[in-house]
Amino acid sequence: MYGIVVSYNEYSETKTSNTIEELLKNSDDVQGIFTGRYKDFVILGKILEYVDNSKNLYVVPKLNSAEEFMIRKEIRKKFGIEGECHYYFIRK
C-alpha cells in the first residue's frame, strides 16, 4: 500500500463534518486500513497489489512519480490531509 498514516483521534478532532469511515465508504480511489493495537491509526492510500502469503514472497510494486502524486492529491482532496507518503506492507 502507498499512503499516509493518520491518527484516528487527531482526525476526529478536526472541524470536518464527515468521519473517516463515511469518507472511505464513498471513495473508490483511496482506501483505508485501520491499524494499531486499538485501531487508533488509519493508513489512507492505495492498495497496490495482493501477494499470496503462502509463497513467502514480498514484492514491492514501485509507482512512478506521477502515480505517487495522484494518490497524494486524492488524499488531500478527500480528507484534507497532506504529508509524506510511504510504502507499507500489510498482512491480514
73-88 pLDDT per residue, tens: 999 888 888 899 999 8
Give the Cα separation of 27 and 23 in Å (integer). 6
Per residue in 31-84, pLDDT tens? 888 887 777 888 899 988 776 666 666 667 889 999 999 999 999 888 888 899
Give the Cα separation of 5 and 41 in Å (integer). 7
Give the Cα separation of 1 and 86 in Å (integer). 8
Structural domain boundaries of the chain?
2-87
Mean pLDDT confidence for 15-36: 74
Give the Cα separation of 79 and 88 in Å (integer). 19
**pLDDT over 90 at 21, yes or no:** no
Residue 54 DSSP symbol: G
Q: Which pLDDT belongs to residue 54?
A: 66
> Taking the model in full, what pTM does it have?
0.76
Residues 6+ apart with CB under 8 A from 14: 80
